[in-house]
Amino acid sequence: MPYKEIRADFEHLRKLFIFPESEDRFIEFGQMILNMLHSYFREKGGIHSSVSLKSLEEMFSEISIPRGPHLLKDIFSEIEEKIISNSVKVSSPYYIGHMTSAIPYYSIFVEMIIAALNQNQVKIETAKASTFVERELICWIHRLIYNFNDEYYNSSIQNRNVSLGSVTLDGTLANLTALLIARNKAFPADGSFRGISEEGIAEAYKYYNVERSVVFVSRRGHYSIDKINGILGVGTRNIIKIPVDKYNKADVNLLKHEISKIEEHNKAGGARIKIIAIVAVAGSTETGNIDDLYEIRKCAESCGAHYHVDAAWGGPVLFVDQYRTLFRGIELADSVTFDSHKLLYLPLSMGMVLFRNEKDPDFIKHNSTYILRKDSYDLGRFTVEGSRPFSALRPWVAMKVFGSEGFRLLFENAFKLTKFFQKSIINSSCFELLNIPELFIINYRFIPEQISDFIMETASSDSRGYDAEKIIEINTALNDINKDLHRHLRHEDNSFVSRTVLESTQYHGQMIVSLRAVTINPLTDDNILSEILLEQQKLGEMIFRDYSVRIDSIIKKPR
Amino acid sequence: MPYKEIRADFEHLRKLFIFPESEDRFIEFGQMILNMLHSYFREKGGIHSSVSLKSLEEMFSEISIPRGPHLLKDIFSEIEEKIISNSVKVSSPYYIGHMTSAIPYYSIFVEMIIAALNQNQVKIETAKASTFVERELICWIHRLIYNFNDEYYNSSIQNRNVSLGSVTLDGTLANLTALLIARNKAFPADGSFRGISEEGIAEAYKYYNVERSVVFVSRRGHYSIDKINGILGVGTRNIIKIPVDKYNKADVNLLKHEISKIEEHNKAGGARIKIIAIVAVAGSTETGNIDDLYEIRKCAESCGAHYHVDAAWGGPVLFVDQYRTLFRGIELADSVTFDSHKLLYLPLSMGMVLFRNEKDPDFIKHNSTYILRKDSYDLGRFTVEGSRPFSALRPWVAMKVFGSEGFRLLFENAFKLTKFFQKSIINSSCFELLNIPELFIINYRFIPEQISDFIMETASSDSRGYDAEKIIEINTALNDINKDLHRHLRHEDNSFVSRTVLESTQYHGQMIVSLRAVTINPLTDDNILSEILLEQQKLGEMIFRDYSVRIDSIIKKPR
């Protein structure tokens, strides 16, 4: 402990629970915190702070709970020195590596309100106005996606026996809620069978003579889908991952083929395979592409599967009328995931799941004896979560601050940034574009000018001219170079893009190390993007020197 | 819309993302919010605001997302007028109805820090110091529960390949994480079988020749256990609920009996029944009682089941050495749930799950391809959740502000309040105590003085004198009276206790409507508790007048 413990005294501690008589003292403290945050954000310098992970390990290695109380001012100084200054500046315009970006500054005041009211959304007794605010928000997003008529919304917005959707703690839980409903709907109560949730999976399979149930998702689906199928007892190996086409969209023909194989199997008699759900992606986290939601919907319909669209990331783009066509078919999804901490530019974390059919949430409804009353206003009747904060206030306020018009402007700007970045890569002689961005994610890699012609020519030749072995070897070397480059970028710490590994569409599925930029921050501009790329080019060229002999020998190797 | 939209302009909106050049403007806004909250908390008046739910329905019935942006000051006024003033004052010393109570005022500043840094705990790239803070906190709570030696904690606190526990979004998710591990551990990979998570439940049962798996929990267990077994595919009907004794603790003999029935079944050959887990409760949400953790542990050991203790509510009481004996055996649990938004007096919501065996989390480990790297510092490798805020800062700060000594004082005060309330009920001629509190929850009901002697005598007579039918009828009338009383209390709105229905221990299992007080608020005192009871007595007596004829006729009815 760098500072002193004080004597524990009940009256002193009790005072911490009272809002100070005069707001002055309260403001005084608030001001201290605001100054602290302010100077952190205005400070120039790196994104990650230069402290090593090793030093952080040492910094936070006190193994016991402090015994006595400490003074607030000492604790806040410790926070400033050890935590704030060693945080990742995710809001920096040079940080274009992840889905977390800048948040509007007023939103940190909204957090104060959420915490101060401390409403628990599980139950009307602990959440009064906030219950109705949450329902209003859900209605807005439902309408954005499904666009039913006014009459429907007027009669359901505050109808406590209708659930248009749920606020969840994050996107994973929104997907979990949707797939839980899908699973329960696939094995409903029937005769002596009381439904899969009550009887368990093994009994459900027995009753319905099913040997296996499956979930379809694109290979670009979020990893939470795997996790969820493990949790739900379906089994991760029963996820059928559909390969993507060169636009990183699930290949609908391959999906149809897989479905027809299952249908044939089922026709043959004996235990059946049940398709629980088909999951489409609207803005994949890796490449930002949107599946063909309309065509996939037809597949789901044909086989009677629940149709879920994971629009955790891309959903808010629906605000922009001109881009709605990208999402054609989302209005036919049985359920949709939509996050507020990604493209709504809000602090972590809150997800939502919306339902086309208001009866679907009944498949997970619990009016658990004495805590949640059946015909009450209790939102907890339909959620996987229990206690839950009033996070709905965040997007509710954001909708008013920006309006759909305001979000349109933010996304138009993000589209411009994406186009600029994409063009810069295409026009450069030392980068290769690895996906065709639909939203705001660009995958690319550094390729030294000296070999870029060679690899492009060799890769694009016809089957006779295509030298698979050489391409594989060169790509392996390029993977190493790009990993090195990313390491150097982290070390320089002037900007941040993320690194991923993509199953390539242009290199016959070879795994390609890729740099990944998410160009959504309203504070980022074309100059910043150019600066970022220039640094990557310079570092890449420097790194290449260590690889030139290796690459040269690959190129010169006879076939 | 009560106020005007403004024109959407990118440059204007962009400025919202920049921390203002000078902190003055920032402070100015902050001050506005603080004043707003301040006056709400200092305002006298009811707990629930007098607005009807019907009016709230109307107040929040705008069915479309606002089109244009609005001015912050207008939005914040709307929040003050419509939301803040219509929230439940859960921090009021007269609000003793739920587990949400007052929070220390400084903690709303901590929320500003969490939001402003906006670290995403899923991955070290988006969470630098915060990853290490979270690990330090987990170590503290682990030690509080398990108390291994210094050497163990020094070597594991920041060892990225060891997971002592996880921070979760709420207590339900902590329980879910624990039971998911239990399920996976019960059906591990073996030979050609790749583990239940990968293969699914049906395959697991086949491979292990199991027909059914079960989870044991006390009848006082939290409803999340039901929900979770539905989610995990085990089936809610495979939860075996152990009746409680008169202290509201799971009856260990009945548990043993159930286990031996299963063991006999398994000995008989054929498909087996697998006991996945035994869940004990350390501070039940209904009565606050703690199961005999030590004895239940022996049962779990004897049948090789995972032993989980749900200490979501009671856990922090471990800070007080003298009450540790209540929890004897918790240090032998395989996993423990521990919430920060209940007895740590912090804003919603954050749970934790701690593991005795650091290898257990491996049963849910995912190093999902490219997002989470295998030997990284990424906390997301072990969590059910994906994106997750830096909520760990809340309890980390609280531990420093209060220290274990400070929490001891808070709980000693809560114990005093509980004793006072309990004594007041026992000494009163018109209330009946329905549980013997171990922690800070008191269940009781109003019984009009005129019949309290009759019911107590009749209920406690030997089997010959016991007039079961009369008691049932009277209790039914008393249930109605207490429901009425609760309605009146809600209407008066001077104080708040919750209402529940308890399976009585003293009335042969009859369901008894009960009032439930949670006496943990440091701002509540003996006078307030007396005031609350006095109002209940007065209202109860008034209500009784409408019931006296009905009750009289029950009493006078011949046997």
Mutation target among B19, B194, B285 for the A interface, most CBs of A within 10 A: B19
Bridge partner list, B239: B215
Chain mean position to CA A178: 16
CB contact under 8 A, B136 and A62: yes
Residue pair B2/B78 in contact (Cβ under 8 Å)? The answer is yes
CB contact under 8 A, B150 and A53: no
Q: Provide the Cα torsion B496, B497, B498, B503; round to 10°.
A: -170
State the architecture of B404-556 in CATH terms. Answer: Alpha-Beta Complex (3.90)
**Residue range A502-525: average pLDDT?**
93
Bridge partner list, B518: B441
Where are any strands of DSSP class E within A174-244?
210-218, 239-242
Q: What is the DSSP string of A488-519?
A: HHHHH-S-B-EEEEEE-TTTTT-EEEEEEEE-
Q: Does A203 touch chain B (CB under 8 A)?
A: yes
Distance from CA of A417 to the nearest CA of B (A): 14
**Residue range A20-49: average pLDDT?**
79
**Residue range A203-232: average pLDDT?**
97
Classify residue A200 as left (phi > 0), alpha (psi -120 to 50) or beta: left
Q: Does A26 touch chain B (CB under 8 A)?
A: yes
Which chain A residues have a beta carbon less than 8 Å from that of B498?
125
Q: pLDDT band at B42, cuts 50/70/90?
A: confident
Query: How far is CA B549 from each of CA A348, B377, B432, B546, B558, rounded to the nearest angstrom?
Result: 58, 71, 21, 7, 16
**Residue B526: φ, ψ to 5°:** -60, -40
CATH number for the domain whose boundaries are B121-389: 3.40.640.10
Q: Which two tokens stand for residue A549?
A: 């002999």
Q: Which two tokens stand for residue A21?
A: 């008589």
Q: Does B8 touch chain A (CB under 8 A)?
A: yes
pLDDT tens digits, A436-490: 999 999 999 999 998 888 887 777 776 666 678 889 999 999 999 999 999 999 9
Bridge partner list, B512: B502
Q: Does B172 touch chain A (CB under 8 A)?
A: yes
Collapsing DSSP to helix, strand or coil, B475 comes out as helix
d(CA A129, CA B59): 9
Collapsing DSSP to helix, strand or coil, B336 comes out as strand
Collapsing DSSP to helix, strand or coil, A285 comes out as coil
Q: pLDDT band at A367, cuts 50/70/90?
A: low
Q: Does B373 touch chain A (CB under 8 A)?
A: no
Distance from CA of A455 to the nearest CA of B (A): 25
Q: Does A100 touch chain B (CB under 8 A)?
A: yes
H-helix segments, B164-251: 171-186, 196-199, 201-208, 224-231
CB contact under 8 A, B23 and A38: yes
Which chain B residues have a beta carbon less than 8 Å from that of A34?
23, 26-27, 30, 112
d(CA B4, CA B71): 8
Collapsing DSSP to helix, strand or coil, B100 comes out as coil
Half-sphere exposure of B517 (CA within 13 A, CB side): 33
Q: pLDDT band at B559, cuts 50/70/90?
A: low
Q: Which two tokens stand for residue A20?
A: 């100070």
Which chain A residues have a beta carbon less than 8 Å from that of B111?
108, 111-112, 114-115
Q: Domain boundaries in chain B? A: 10-89, 121-389, 404-556
**Residue A286: φ, ψ to 5°:** -85, -40
Sign of the dihedral through C-alpha B261, B267, B270, B275? positive
CATH of A119-388, one of 3.30.420.40, 3.40.50.720, 2.120.10.30, 3.40.640.10: 3.40.640.10
Q: pLDDT band at A228, cuts 50/70/90?
A: very high
ipTM reported for the complex, 2 dp: 0.96
**Residue range B503-526: average pLDDT?**
93
pLDDT tens digits, B77-125: 999 999 999 999 999 999 999 998 899 999 999 999 999 999 999 999 9
Q: What pLDDT score was predicted for residue A39?
A: 83
| Average pLDDT of chain A, as a whole number | 93
Residue recorded with tokens 């602090």: A347
Residue of B nearest to A500 (CA): B370
